[in-house]
Structure 1
Amino acid sequence: MHKISIVGLGPGEYSLISQGALDALHSSCRIYLRTEKHPIVNKLKETIKYTSLDYFYDSEENFEDVYYKISKHIVELAKEGDLVYAVPGHPRVAEKTVGIIESMAKENNIEVETIASMSFVDAMFNYLAVDPADGFKLIDAFEIENSYIDTNTSMIITQIYDQFIASNIKLKLMEYYDYDQEVCIVNGAGVKNLESKKYVPLYELDRSENLFNYLTSLYIPKSSKKMYNTVNDLETIMNTLRGENGCDWDKKQTHESLKKYVIEEAYELCQAIDNDDIDEMIEELGDILLQVIFHCQIGKEEGYFDLKEVVNGICTKLINRHPHVFNNVNIDMAQFEKTWEELKRDEKGETSITSGLKRIPSHLPALIKAEKIQHKAALIGFDWDDIKDVFEKIDEEYKELLDECKQGNIKYIKEELGDLLFSIVNLARFLHIDSEEALNLTNQKFINRFEFMEENASRLHKKLEDLTLDQMEELWQSAKENKL
């Protein structure tokens, strides 16, 4: 069995490379350096011969491809005999190729040994005189978009090679920290003649006078100002509110008592959207998110569910209902709504169309529920072919309502009125108009005209209720003429 010895070259000071790493380098004639851009390489040249793999950086478009190609190359070379693969710092600290090589080597029955030296992280904490025992997070600058930023602990960001990367880092961090959060630009940590550090406010991170190169990292101490920007923050606050020393009102709430607030907040969000008010939308979305967290906290306390289960449920549902996106399944997008409904029935184990109709929430406003019922029926072909048929149905239901009104039978009047409303909702669906929205527009129009009438009556030093019906009608027509 052939062997790959992965050695760490330490942070850059020759005295900080381990004796074990030096012994491995001096005992091998097949040495490969991931990069020769490292401060101790000039001294190593005096005693060893090596091959640099820097040329991979020129041939690939991104670092992920570079790391994969280098790893594959090393494993292929190891099939011919033992070798030493040298990397900066410690092989186990922020060195992507090590894990890839180990995985590939295992598949090819090749032994892998790692030989440690001091990491640049150790050198940084030593240089900054900071104790890492309080905890820290290590992040690669090229992976920060997908990384969790925790302002409650210190953080080191590596591979800040240039001002462009520094700008991207600054923009990302300003989503979590105050603009004047103190950060430290560290260069050459562990290399005595290259070490430098510069504390700057975050907004100055990418200034042209700051030094950035392949030995640059960024240290961010734990923030003294709490920024609330994660769902976890909201969970923590809700846990406190429901806790022993929390709020009596919050502690006594149940799923049942909170039900009405979910509906209220949803409608308030709709109003914010109608008003095109971004600040109001942010506030109302927060209120809706609070309701989600509130119910999850109650579920957690009762031992039935928590936020993780809720998130897992919706993620699983979205993946399952978008097989064309996540599983490369061909779907006719013209029939997507029908496919979506079929997937929902499969998920819920429903065997009939009626089950889907019964699933529509009873608490929905009647107009919205009517539209949903009609839409689900239309998906399987139970629908009018022409809008003329819809108008004829409305006319039919209107005449039936008139007939029942003449008979004075309140039971059947109510039934026929419902049929007429149902038919009008069907017309709105054919016209691609939201019936609920249309009726709300009319409600608002009525309020505007009524306000006009009342204001004009006041100018006549009269109350609206003191006017005759004809006088009110005259004011109403005047409101219409004023485009109200």
Structure 2
Amino acid sequence: MAATNARITVLGLGTGDEDQLTLGVWKKLQAASGAGAKLFLRTKDHPMVAMLDANNVKYDTFDNTYVQHATFEEVYESIAEELMRLAASESAEILYAVPGHPMVAEYTVQLLKERCPAQSISLQIMGGESFLDQAFLRFGFDPIEGFQLLDATSLSRYTLNPKLHTVIGQVYDTYTASDLKISLMDVYPDEYRVVVGHSLGVAGQEQIIEVPLYELDHVKGYGNLSLVWVPASTRDEDHYRSFGRLHEIVAILRSPEGCPWDREQTHESLRKNLIEEAYEVLETIDEDDPEHMCEELGDLLLQVMLHAQMEEEVGTFTAYDVIAMLNEKLIRRHPHVFGENKAEDADEALVNWNAMKAEEKRKKGIDVTKQSVLDGVPRELPGLMKALKLQKKAAAVGFDWSALEDVLAKLDEELGELRQAIAAEGEGAAQERVSELGDVLFSLVNVARFLKIDPEEAIAKTNLKFVRRFSYIEEQLRLRGQSFEQTDLLEMETYWQAAKKVAE
């Protein structure tokens, strides 16, 4: 239980220039020489400490705490707890001095703000000059143009915005600068010009160094008073990696001042494009061509953006709504990742997924007990893929063959019926052949399912194999100066057999 007069006063030491230290803070620091207050510095590694020493101001520091813990978070937790313990047990006021401004990049102060009220400890915060004041002055930009302050030790590419001036603190050493460089290079070009500032505003110690981004960790002198400034970019290509720019471009294309072709498109007119782009992505997967895949995935994403933009124009939803709904669904359907559930393997994960889908339907007022087991299979799926999905759904409730031999026997039966349909004549014979061929294909999909082979993947590989072998025939005919009209099936079969040996 804290004493009734327990109090902590946090003081900002500023950036290191004595002339910028506020009078109120200096009076409080001087009070530490008497019996009514005790002064603790987060660290002695600050230019203002020389002034304290010169004026015989007594203090203790928490520098040893940095040695005792493995992470900065543990250090700051330890400092905050110790300050509150001292405030509760000492009759004197506890003064806690930190570099810069107490409310800028000072995690210990945030911890004190959160925890002091619960322990009935009075907390006062007295500001000092922030390193941001010197950054705006020395780097020479106006923050109203757009500005963000980030921590080098917890930087994420998702927080970076090339349109804003970015000041990055906590660049303690070369290792931190190296990690920072890698993160920045996810968003900015390797040659992008950045500025390193050491001890800004401190006479005789200040250094301002401009380098290309790829040399950021080559700069010497990183320490507690180091900053990195990444200037805002006005070059369009520096924003190509942002989703916002993609959304903006698509909106421009669909605008009255945009592209006539894009403006004319509708959901219906782009249906075939969406399917074609999806298949072109599949082709790059079969070709094992990452560079081509990257391009084709972009084309597929464009189709998504165009459809979303059409809906945004009529006010139903936007591309950002699509993303929000997807993010929410991914988190909701993965309780074994984002919640309390567990999943040891893919089968358990699938059980979780299906359970969440069923729960979502119940919340929408859908009676899942009245739904067909086969519901949920898209109508427009390719035939083999749709057959496989239908069979899997039926098998999940026990409507399935018990062994592969039974499936093969069924295939033989369907082939026999197809032969009979081929031999039949008269009205309806053609339609019967279509029906029986469909049964054969459906049975073949069943065989693939029992063999755990994706029939679409199998036929895709065979198609590629056919193209390679047939291309070999064409090549051999060209080498001999022949055309298809000048050869016969026997000669082509000879080349085909040769292709099986050399064109695989």
Task: Work out whether the TM-score is over 0.5.
Answer: yes
Residue 115 (structure 2) pairs with residue 78 (structure 1): no
Q: Residue 199 of structure 1: CA displacement? A: 1.9
Checking the alignment, whether the CA contact within 8 Å between 2:40 and 2:59 is kept in structure 1 is: yes
Q: Residue 127 of structure 1: CA displacement? A: 2.7
Residue 54 (structure 2) pairs with residue 42 (structure 1): no
Residue 190 (structure 2) pairs with residue 182 (structure 1): no
- Secondary structure, in 3 states, of the residue corresponding to 2:268? helix
Alpha carbons of 1:200 and 1:253: their partners in 2 closer, same or farther (altered >3 Å)? Answer: same
Measured in 1, the distance between the counterparts of 2:290 and 2:257 equals 35
Match of 1:163 among 166, 174, 178: 174
Measured in 2, the distance between the counterparts of 1:483 and 1:163 equals 53
Checking the alignment, whether the CA contact within 8 Å between 2:157 and 2:183 is kept in structure 1 is: no
The gaps in structure 1 that reach 5 residues or longer are none
Aligned to 1:137: 148
Answer with 216-225 or 459-468: which moved more: 459-468
Checking the alignment, whether the CA contact within 8 Å between 1:3 and 1:78 is kept in structure 2 is: yes
Equivalent positions of 1:28-427 (< 5 A) are 28-45=36-53, 46-80=55-89, 82-145=93-156, 148-207=159-218, 210-226=220-236, 227=238, 228-331=240-343, 333=345, 334-349=347-362, 351-352=368-369, 355=372, 357-408=374-425, 409-427=429-447
Checking the alignment, whether the CA contact within 8 Å between 2:373 and 2:394 is kept in structure 1 is: no
- Secondary structure, in 3 states, of the residue corresponding to 2:452? coil
Give the letter aligned to residue 45 of structure 2.
K
Checking the alignment, whether the CA contact within 8 Å between 1:338 and 1:379 is kept in structure 2 is: no
Checking the alignment, whether the CA contact within 8 Å between 1:139 and 1:155 is kept in structure 2 is: yes
Measured in 2, the distance between the counterparts of 1:31 and 1:278 equals 60
Measured in 1, the distance between the counterparts of 2:62 and 2:463 equals 73
Answer with 152-161 or 450-459: which moved more: 450-459
Checking the alignment, whether the CA contact within 8 Å between 2:197 and 2:208 is kept in structure 1 is: yes
Residue 23 (structure 2) pairs with residue 12 (structure 1): no
- Secondary structure, in 3 states, of the residue corresponding to 1:289? helix
Q: Residue 354 of structure 1: CA displacement? A: 5.3
Measured in 2, the distance between the counterparts of 1:339 and 1:469 equals 56
Give the letter aligned to residue 21 of structure 1.
V
Measured in 1, the distance between the counterparts of 2:56 and 2:152 equals 34
- Secondary structure, in 3 states, of the residue corresponding to 2:167? strand
Q: Residue 166 of structure 1: CA displacement? A: 1.6
Measured in 1, the distance between the counterparts of 2:249 and 2:373 equals 38
- Secondary structure, in 3 states, of the residue corresponding to 2:45? coil
Measured in 1, the distance between the counterparts of 2:222 and 2:278 equals 48
Answer with 463-472 or 48-57: which moved more: 463-472
What are the Cα deviations for residues 12-50 of structure 1, in whole angstroms up to 9, with x where unaligned? 112212122223333451322222211111222434322
Relative to the length of structure 1, the TM-score reads: 0.91
Alpha carbons of 1:363 and 1:220: their partners in 2 closer, same or farther (altered >3 Å)? Answer: same
Measured in 2, the distance between the counterparts of 1:483 and 1:16 equals 78
Measured in 1, the distance between the counterparts of 2:412 and 2:113 equals 77
Give the letter aligned to residue 311 of structure 1.
I
Q: Report the RMSD for the aligned CA atoms in angstroms.
A: 2.6
Checking the alignment, whether the CA contact within 8 Å between 2:250 and 2:309 is kept in structure 1 is: yes
Q: Residue 367 of structure 1: CA displacement? A: 0.3
Alpha carbons of 1:261 and 1:113: their partners in 2 closer, same or farther (altered >3 Å)? Answer: farther
What are the Cα deviations for residues 202-244 of structure 1, in whole angstroms up to 9, with x where unaligned? 222222x622121111122223533111111211211222223
Checking the alignment, whether the CA contact within 8 Å between 2:472 and 2:503 is kept in structure 1 is: no
Measured in 2, the distance between the counterparts of 1:479 and 1:128 equals 68
Measured in 2, the distance between the counterparts of 1:417 and 1:174 equals 56
- Secondary structure, in 3 states, of the residue corresponding to 2:96? strand
What are the Cα deviations for residues 129-170 of structure 1, in whole angstroms up to 9, with x where unaligned? 443332322111101235522222222111222222222222
The gaps in structure 2 that reach 5 residues or longer are none
Q: Residue 394 of structure 1: CA displacement? A: 0.8
Q: Residue 119 of structure 1: CA displacement? A: 0.5
Measured in 2, the distance between the counterparts of 1:230 and 1:29 equals 52
Measured in 2, the distance between the counterparts of 1:238 and 1:299 equals 13
Aligned residues: 483
